[in-house]
Structure 1
Amino acid sequence: MGSQLRLSAGQAAGLAVVLLGTPALGAQLDSAAADVVVVTGERSGEAVSDTVLPVTRIDQAAIIEIGAQHPAELLSRAPGVMLNRGNGAEHLTAIRSPVLAGGAGAGSFLYLEDGIPLRAAGFANVNGLFESLSNLAGGIEVVRGPGSALQGSNALHGVINFLTPAPDQTATLVEAELGSFGRARGQLRASRAGERTSALIAIAGQHEDGWRAEAGLDRVEALVRLDGETPRFDWRATASMVTLNQETAGYVGGFEAYRDLALARSNNDPEAFRDAMALRMALALSGTTGSGRSWQVTPYLRANEMDFLMHFVPSEALEESNHASAGIQASVRTLTDWGSYTLGTDLERTRGALRETQSRPTIFSFVQGDHYDYSVRSDVAALYGQTRWQLLDSFRLQAGLRLEHVTYDYDNALADNAVGRFLRVADREDSYDLVLPHLGASWQLDADSAVIARLARGARAPQTTELYRLQPGQVIEGIEPETLDSLEIGYRRDAGGPVSYSVTAFAMQKRNVFFRDADGFNVTDGRTRHHGVELTLDYAVSPKLTLAVAGSWSEHSYDFDQPVTTPSEVIRSGARIDTAPDWLWNARLNWVPSDSFTGSLEWVYVGSYYTDAANLNRYDGHDLVNLRARYRIADGVEVFGAVRNLLDTRYAERADFAFGNDRYFPGEERGVSVGIRVRR
């Protein structure tokens, strides 16, 4: 590591916090409580202390109390996770990875609702979290690195599973909040627990005028959930909807332009917008046979549509996309004297379409009129098996294998030709096979500590936009599924006392990396390497004061050479991938001086990173401080407030170097919000 481990003041401070509060370094997880149950690795659920996955759980109470204006506020509490927050609900995600854009950003992370993907595998959205129930969720589970055998394409760098709240565990709640920049947020959760059937209905909405000029947001989440039981099986029915209407602001240009408040608040793309809707329905059935065997069957439907003005290209074309899916998940789990095994299948059919139209006059090679107009039928069929062996009282193995077949049937509605910079390929079929194994082991050293090791492969089939939205000179042949091989080892300790902690070290190699280089050519055989260390700590300093820390150090580098004509975008083997900070820290000091008052001081640190592939330009990183508090004024009634960016730091949510210029998505100045919450 050598010179790469020189610490800045912020890095040293974060490391000191951890070392002073920790009697020994340790590892793999995440949620400190041993009795916490997670369901992402095994749909039947398993205790955090039993899982071999590096998973962090954010519970319903934390989601409500954080009152996130953007999912980044929630997910930054997991180690190794960073979201570059864009305007409104927009974002780019990093989980054990650089911040990824384009098809890689869409297809490298699997977003789920109760274990069902929010979108079909080939139709992912780089801003996919805005279609989630981020405000209404009953819990969020974040898996770092490849998923288990239960997750298929797109579970490459990470998995985020949004869990709907259980009616019998959710109090009726009404909440309203007002804040800076014309923000208003509210939600209603109404639940009824019955002897045989329980019900929940919930709705949340948020509005903002926009921190930047002409960059407003309106977003609504809605959920209905019914839980029931019969003598033969249990059932859960859910229906959820998310709508988004937002104006969009783009980059500001010039070295450290984000420091100029007037420039940072400006918007050179006032006509840009993004309108979207997502609908999902599922019926989960589960039961037992009375012979150590349990089963689950979950049919589901989903539909997504989005209109998006592509303000970042000269054409400013309108993209209209949609897709609808029907699928089923089915599995059988058998308990044995030596452990358990699960066999299952996932089947899904999707029909999607995309149209791109330029209304403004022709400019350069951006031709007025229809650029693309096509539909795609996608079929996914997967078989998987996962088993757990209790070899010794203190030693357990878990192994899984998933075989997945993805087929695309593409139909072009325009002439099969090239127009300007747009190539419409002829009708065709493409298929991809994914083989996804994983092997994990857990060695319980004593009642309070364990060593975890895991070897896994993740993969993603190419996105339909990568295959069928081409430019002249590009071809589909040679595009293969990206694969990521991951090895990790960790140690975790939870003695039930004032300190619990975890440390995980990982190394990953990715092959068949697909992207379009700065010269516009397809790269189909790129390779990258990733390694790092993640740490979590929960420390009860006193009965009234607790410290929670999530941090990571990582390196992400190219493992191939790609010469291009733009000097700042030349790729050299061993060079660092751009937009990949070495250090990420999130630390929270929680103070509860009485039953009526809770205060929280949060520090978020993003380290420096290169902003171009050639490592010629960089962003220095930033520190943010957030303050939250709530006070109970009567039984079941509390007021709450937050000051985000307490120190009014000038920073960039995303820094980039392109077209010979530094450019930035500027971060918000200090903002204040206050609200009232009633629970019954």
Structure 2
Amino acid sequence: MHYVIEVAHCSMHFCGGKGCSNFSQNRMIMKSVIKYLITLCCVLFIQSLYAQSGPCKGKVIDGITKEPIAHASIQINNAKQGTYTNNKGEFEWPFNGTQQELLVSFIGYQPLTVLVNQQQSSLVIELQSSNNTMQEVVISANRDVARRSQAPVAINTLTAKTIQDTRPITADQVLNKVSGVYMVNLGNEQHSMSIRQPMTTKSLFLYLEDGIPIRTTGLFNHNALLEMNMAAVRNIEVIKGPSSSLYGSEAIGGVVNFITLAPTALPSLKLSVQGNDIGYKRADVQTGFTSGKWGVSVNGYYADKRNSYIEYSDFHKEIVSARIDYRFSEKTMLTNSITWMDYYSDMPGGIDSTRFANRSFSNPQTFTYRKVRSLRYRSTLNHVWNDRSKSSVSLLYRDNSIGQNPAYAVKDDYRRQGNGWVGKKDLAHGEINDASFNSYVLIAQHKQQFGWKDAAIIGGISADISPSTYRADYIRIKKDSVSGKYLGYESKDSVLTHYRSNINNYAAFLNMELSPVEKLRIVASLRYDLFQYKFDNYLKPSAFSGSPDTTNHFSAVSPKIGFTYNFSRSIGVYANYSQGFVPPQVTEMYKGVKVPNLDPSVFYNYEAGGWISLLKGKLSADLSIYYLDGTNEVVSVKLDDGSTENRNAGKTLHKGIEMGINANPVKDISFRFSGAYSRHEFTSFNEKGVKYDGNEMNGAPNWIYNTEVWYRPSYVKGLRVGVEWQHLGSYWLDPVNTVKYPGFNVVHLRAGYLWKGYEVWVNAINLGDSYYAYTASKSSFGYSYNPAEPRNINVGLSCDFGQFFKK
């Protein structure tokens, strides 16, 4: 806007000649002064008008995480005028008049109307997550931001709001809210998992951090999520079913993607402390800011547990993540992040049937432990070429070691042999082992959109070079034959296993989408993986130490095709066919194996589902049905000479139905139901000479559901009270199907109060003090139970010092 002001030139002078009187001189001077003052007033008035019509500036941020929200819509109410926020969440809009109403909105958030007047030089607008989950934005479905309604997969998002309301100590306390998911709590953040599979420690699940696997292929660890920094997590996405066509191996039962916090738009510093009455204590720090082209975020926590309800079950964990963003321009940004963790835990193991029946939490293990040290560094360069084209390149480095004196390796010398018993009652055998690896990873990805049929292609390549080592040393254990406690051990100069393996994984992937007709979206993806395992045995090959030095190659092609059809913005259906694969793990290929000769296990998945949103978002539901056929699964086959050998000889079948319901029947109350019915069967399974054909798989409950109700009274702003009910149905303890565990029901009560930047919460876990086991099993060594925590009260307090930085 430009203003042109023509000002008459005024000449002020005094003449001293004839015909010029003092009066006339003064008159001329006064006229000149008056003209000058009038001109000056006009200029100042016009400038004041321009100041009142100056730009309205502001930032739109997430109300919980304080991260900027890019591409949020800013509209003037009742006018066809508006703008969008930039990548920093900033916007600028010419201001006209004394006040205006701005409607601020973004997918997945509740729209907000803001009244703006000329006295406000800068706005900070905080959006809150929406309760309607049908139109959420998801990232994991096709490796890029997409509408949930255009993703032909069963995918659920645990939002920042859900995580804050729950205030979880461990990841299972939020993940188990997802239909069909049961993350088994094995104590001290250790776990196993069940997603479209039985509760298992097998490599059938893929865990990601910002879309990149936490661990490398072939070295799966069922405790991988203890390496996650929950203080740095913004939200969690769970894809159920095979996703190998995009993410590669191990993505069979499901993919869990932890999306981390970005630097906050405003300076932020959150400190919190919490603890419960069974020995757990924790302190968190979350901080971040953005200044010019730089953005910084640092998050971490220290957790410690002593003298808990189970003997010898102490642990501590310290973990910190740092992220630095540098924005070269609106189109180019470099992100560097690093996570470091040091973890130690006693390893109590499960308790036997006698202790479980007597509710005895004494622990026979007095010295077993697990130590984990991990470092992950990632550097990602993102560039937007134009509105239809963008690329990213990521470099990743991992340094990981797990040292153990494992309870599962402790075996009594006194054992049954034939019709009698042999060995010493005061002697047991065990091992101390260490597994370490480094990874050097490159991932390059490009997305190209087209004007024809709203088509888009995402393609990329990846390379993962991961050398690893493993060593196990024998220890001789002294046992008290009366109490059954393992009292101590002595190391012997005896190496059980010692090898090095190099795992190279090269892959290329392609995801294609288009809408041939309105409302229909077709998505197809394809991935090719090439593996090279190089094994060097430092010991003489044997049935225990492992195979001779060798190199193995194998490859896998993983397709997926599906569609979504949206009848309207509130009703849609989808279907897909996909394949997933699991390469042999290094331990399966080489440890205790004479001749390594395994192929990837392949799973074939057929799936359909849909979603609906009613009553203006007050009621929504989603449904999925799946049929998953597993082939070439690794089983241990008993040979004629009595030894065993791993072979691709197993087949299994997994089928089920999953449902989620969200409702807001009245303003102050919200309701959620997440449930699944499934059946997991051995189709063809002959392990060590025993056939399981037609049996249900052990550790596979038919029913899993989780229900939750929250009450947020409008007359007490910031207060929340929630009740959660978790049900796990009965399941077989052994693959022969001889004994069942009855399952359990457990209720949790949570309450919190948020006032300005201060929050206090109280969580009553296992409110009814139910006595049950997180998981139970039966083997040739007897029964094993992992007893759940008794009723415990967790109290926490946090302060967000970022409130003092707000303008």
Same-fold status (TM-score > 0.5) = yes
Q: For the residues of structure 1 that align with 2:685 and 2:700, how far apart are their CA atoms? A: 19
Counterpart in 2 of 1:343?
A: 459
TM-fit CA distance, 1:189: 0.4
Corresponding position: 1:277 with 2:396: no
> TM-score normalized by structure 1?
0.89
Q: Quick one: distance in 1 between partners of 2:687 and 2:585?
A: 25
| Residues 82 and 94, structure 1, Cα contact 8 Å, conserved in 2 | yes
What's the counterpart of residue 142 of structure 2?
Answer: 42
1:283-322 correspondence to structure 2 within 5 Å: 283-290=379-386, 292-313=388-409, 314=411, 315-322=429-436
Deviates more, 1:213-222 or 1:490-499: 490-499
Per-residue CA deviations over 1:95-141 (Å, capped at 9, x if unaligned) read 1100123xxx1x21111111111111011112111111234311111
Structure with the bigger RCO (C-alpha within 8 Å, sep 6+) is 1
Alignment counterpart, residue 432 of structure 1, candidates 546, 551, 554: 554
Give 1:83 deviation, angstroms: 1.8
In the alignment, does 2:203 pair up with 1:81? no
Match of 1:352? 468
| Counterpart for residue 248 of structure 1 | 347
Number of aligned residue pairs = 631
Q: CA deviation at 1:187?
A: 0.6
Contact 1:487–1:506 (8 Å) recurs in 2 = yes
Which residue of the partner structure matches residue 333 of structure 1? 447
**Equivalent-residue separation in structure 1 for 2:197 and 2:430 (angstroms):** 30
Q: Which residue of 1 aligns with 2:505?
A: 380
* Distance apart, 1:35 and its partner CA: 4.4
Match of 2:233, SS? Answer: coil
Aligned to 1:537: 661
Equivalent residue runs for 1:25-40 within 5 Å:
32-40=132-140
Aligned residues of 1:275 and 1:307 also touching (Cα < 8 A): yes
Query: In structure 1, what is the Cα distance between the partners aligned to 2:385 and 2:232?
Result: 34
Using the TM superposition, give the Cα deviation of residue 367 of structure 1 relative to its aligned residue in structure 2, in angstroms: 9.3
Partner of residue 105, structure 2: none
* Residue of structure 2 in register with 1:622 after alignment: 744
1:177 and 2:277 are equivalent in the alignment:
no
How far, CA to CA, are the matches of 1:228 and 1:597 in structure 2? 38
| Deviation, structure 1 residue 460 | 1.1
Measured after TM superposition, the shift of residue 615 of structure 1 is: 0.7
1:549 matched residue in structure 2: 673
Shift in alpha-carbon separation, 1:459–1:45, aligned structure 2, 3 A: same
| 2:604 is the alignment partner of 1:485 | yes
Matches within 5 A, 1:181-580: 181-209=278-306, 210-231=308-329, 232-254=331-353, 257-261=355-359, 263=360, 265-290=361-386, 292-313=388-409, 314=411, 315-336=429-450, 337-338=452-453, 339-360=455-476, 369-418=494-543, 422-470=544-592, 474-477=594-597, 479-495=598-614, 496-516=616-636, 520-562=644-686, 564=688, 570-580=690-700
Aligned 8 A contact 2:753 2:761 in 1: yes
Unaligned ranges ≥5, structure 2: 1-129, 412-428, 480-490, 803-807
Distance 1:548 1:109, change over 3 A: same
Map of 1:609 onto structure 2:
731
TM-superposed CA distance for 1:596, in Å, is: 2.7
Provide the identity percentage.
22
- 2:796 — aligned with what? 675
User: Which residue pairs with 1:592 in the alignment?
Assistant: 712
Q: How many angstroms apart in 2 are the aligned matches of 1:556 and 1:507? A: 10
- Residue deviations 1:452-504, cap 9 Å, x none? 10111111111111111115xx5322x11011111110010124421010010
Q: Distance in 2 between matches of 1:259 and 1:360?
A: 30
Partner Cα separation in structure 2 for residue 521 and residue 409 of structure 1:
20
TM-aligned CA distance change 1:361 to 1:251, over 3 Å: closer
Residue 3 of structure 1 corresponds to which residue in structure 2?
Answer: none
Amino acid of the residue matched to residue 770 of structure 2? T
Q: Could you tell me which amino acid in structure 1 is paired with residue 665 of structure 2?
A: V
> Take 1:136 and 1:162, find their aligned partners in 2: how far apart are those partners?
9
1:72 is aligned to 2:186: no
Note the aligned Cα RMSD (angstroms): 2.1
Once the two structures are superposed, residues 629-654 of structure 1 have per-residue CA deviations (whole angstroms, 9 ceiling, x without a partner) of 0123x421121111100000010111
Amino acid at match of 1:189: Q
- Is the 2:344–2:370 Cα contact (8 Å) retained in structure 1? yes
Aligned residue number for residue 112 of structure 2: none
Separation in 2, partners of 1:464, 1:118: 17
Amino acid at match of 1:503: L
Give the match for residue 638 of structure 1.
759
User: Counterparts of 1:253 and 1:362 in 2: how far apart (Å)?
Assistant: 19
> Would the alpha carbon gap of residues 32 and 346 (structure 1) be closer, same or farther in structure 2, given more than 3 Å must change?
farther
Question: Equivalents in 2 of 1:198, 1:655: separation in Å?
Answer: 47
- 3-state SS, counterpart of residue 73 of structure 1: helix
Matched, 1:661 2:782: yes
